[in-house]
Amino acid sequence: MAVAAGICVLLVACSRHEGVFSLSPVFTARSALSAPALTQCVVQHWEQGTRGVHRGNSDGTLTLRAQSFFNGSAIGLRVVPEGRQSRVEYFERRHTDSLYESMVRECLRSDGGDAPDVPSS
């Protein structure tokens, strides 16, 4: 009985269809770059190493969604404008290769600063 219950819980957990943005971000950082400039930098990197980069814009907040190239895990980026700067939130559906996170961090470093992580709530 316990095994059957465990299998049911596992099936439900693995079959969730929520989007990558429903999860807590892997990291959050600030950038001196504007939201459009930062988003464009990440798009240029992700187009080379992901499947199907999709862009979105809702009330000025820019989003990027893609699938990692090798295991097809969903990854996402939310870029929130804060004046001339921006706040970045990076998401992963499952743990992926650190390549995608490092691409985002490379764009953050290109703004001339180190872009320290912002504590997540």
10 Å CB burial of residue 93 (0-12, 13-18, 19+) is buried
User: Residue 119 — pLDDT band, cuts 50, 70, 90?
Assistant: very low
Q: What is the mean pLDDT of residues 12-19?
A: 53
Domains of the chain: 19-109 (3.30.310.220)
The model carries a pTM of 0.73
Question: What pLDDT, in 10s, does the model give residues 23-78?
Answer: 889 999 999 999 999 999 999 998 888 888 999 998 889 999 998 877 778 899 99
- Percentage of the residues of the chain whose pLDDT score is greater than 90: 39
Instruction: Please determine, for residue 118, whether its predicted confidence score (pLDDT) is greater than 60.
Output: no
Q: Which pLDDT value is given to residue 9?
A: 53
